[in-house]
Amino acid sequence: MATYPGKDIERAAQAARGSASDAGAPGASVPDAAAPDCALDAGAGASGPSAPCAGCDAAALTPAQAAAAAWDGPVAPIAAVEPESPADDAGFTAGCYLTTVDGQPVRDIIDWRWLAAEDAIAVGYIDQDGEAGEVELEREAGERWGFEFDGVLFDKVKLCRNACVFCFMRQLPEGVRPSLVLRDDDFRLSFLSGTFVTLTNLRPEDEARIIEQHISPLRVSLHASNPELRRSMIGRHAQHGLDALDRLLAAGIKAHAQIVLMPGVNDGEALRETLEWAWARPNIQNVGIVPLGFTKHQTALHESFTGPEAARGVIRTIEPFQARARTERGGPWVFAADEFYVNAFGAETPAHIPPASDYGDYEMFEDGIGIVRSYVDEFDEAVASGLAARAADALASRNLQARYIIGEAMQPFLDAMIERSPLADRLVPLTVGNDYFGGNVNVTGLLCGCDIAAAIKAEIGKEPVSSEEEGSLPKVEQGGVGGCSNRASSAANGNAQWAFPQSEDCLSKLGYPPSPPGQAPEGELFFIPSVILNDDGITLDDMTVQDIENAAGAPVSVVSCNPLDYLPEIIALIEPENVA
């Protein structure tokens, strides 16, 4: 699955925030796309990724940027040009923009691929001097045009116009960065990056485009097939989405469906009815069921399928559908998220999670489906191959213990697996509760820097100084502050180790004194799985790894998420002299 285009979402969020601020609303942020009278376009207020913010000083723009901002239509920003390519031969450089292909606007990377499929095209452009024009390009069969674009969407991100009762973005704490609460519902991101969409904001021309360009498969939020039930869950446009899905499926578009399961709402008989509805539509390739997630920053949601019996009930409900699908379609077709199995079986989860053959190529991995099976199989392989023993020996040779940060969801079965392996007492998970989000949020990927730092500090016996004591520093605020929120960390070398220069300014804003480089508890090394950080090295609460180190008072290293990757990385960190 492709990486989620955070750059496009970040820019759209900034543009939406700037548009609201320009309108004069004090403290305005992303527009509420779920308002009853919102436009069907649902893109109002979010300019394209290449259009500079209207609030910026025009004098700071390059001629190309100024011309792009004034262009009547989408513009595709060129990030790089491949040497000796047709684009290079025509004189294109990074910082130029494409505007059209054969007279047609280029709204996104899908349009580009569709329109530029021939070996001779005419491209409209804005050059570095801000001049617009058109040039003919030709290429040899199979040759690349040589353009690399900045982002994948060149017009407005399509926003959500629903009012889902379970919407996670509406449950986030105040002060998070805008991109975390911008609720996109864009069929193009569904195709390109695997995000789920409701199809409730599709216009007839969108449907026609999806069919013409065969934008397939899409990932669709189904939730319930009963019209009234679905309406009660996501809002008044629910039927529009179902009708659009039926038309697309009938036209040959394939879909992966997802159901967010709410206890007492769309489970039980309602779930069976929804699965029967989906089964009757062969172009729905599979269905993934994920449990309701809720945080402490709301008051309407209080329970999910955390109890063993409730979780097992869901597994039992889908088993007949899986048996039928194995017989008639060669695979289970409907999948329960890993959380159901962990909640149902605890430490015995590895014995009950479905086999790897059920998950195929793990195409629903990002939805929390198949992660546990993949992890268990990799851990078993690490033990069988001797990798686990080598890692244990490396740690033992220096009398070290690897403290691997995990969320509470992994703790029941991972502790038991490690205890039965050569890594017992050497690889010791440090289970971190998610106080930042609270509720039933307990997966590793949603851990925040403040909770990780607090867990490490508690582990090494260093409690923060009370703010009531004379000369003490203020308590760390959730979400990051000041100049600390946007500083990305960088890797120190080609291995997994990260090195961070001390920043007195950032430390003072975080509320902790600087820790001397290399200060660590005797015999303990702390490791953070990379899934906790975004591409810029930032946690969900805007902390860098350096910020975590400074707040915790101990150095940490970033490693991979899978045993076959992170165990060699740990060995390399301990024994750098043995790494070629």
Backbone angles phi, psi at 349, to 5 degrees: -55, -45
Averaged pLDDT for residues 524-534: 95
Cα(24)–Cα(524) distance, rounded to whole angstroms? 52
Show Cβ contacts of residue 213 under 8 Å, excluding neighbours closer than 6 positions.
Answer: 110, 114
Q: Is the pLDDT of residue 15 over 70?
A: no
Element (H, E) at 321: helix 308-329
Contact at 8 Å (CB) between 16 and 51? no
Averaged pLDDT for residues 485-500: 29
pLDDT at position 523, please? 82
Question: C-alpha 470: how far from its chain's center?
Answer: 42
Question: C-alpha 501: how far from its chain's center?
Answer: 28
- The answer to whether the peptide bond before residue 204 is cis (omega within 30 degrees of 0) is no
Show Cβ contacts of residue 237 under 8 Å, excluding neighbours closer than 6 positions.
Answer: 161, 162, 198, 200, 201
Cα(470)–Cα(472) distance, rounded to whole angstroms? 5
Q: Is the pLDDT of residue 494 over 80?
A: no
Question: C-alpha 560: how far from its chain's center?
Answer: 16
Averaged pLDDT for residues 108-132: 97
Cα(215)–Cα(152) distance, rounded to whole angstroms? 15
Tell me if residue 547 falls in helix, strand or coil. helix
Nearest-Å Rg of the Cα atoms of the chain is 26
Query: What tokens were used for 192?
Result: 């390109």
**Buried/exposed code over 182-193 (b: 16+ C-beta within 10 A; e: otherwise):** bbbbbbbbbbbb
Averaged pLDDT for residues 213-219: 97
Residue-wise pLDDT tens digits, 148-185: 999 999 999 999 999 999 999 899 998 888 888 889 99
Cα(195)–Cα(187) distance, rounded to whole angstroms? 8
pLDDT at position 160, please? 94
Tell me if residue 527 falls in helix, strand or coil. strand
Among the listed ranges 10-19, 289-298, 303-312, which one has the minimum average pLDDT value? Answer: 10-19
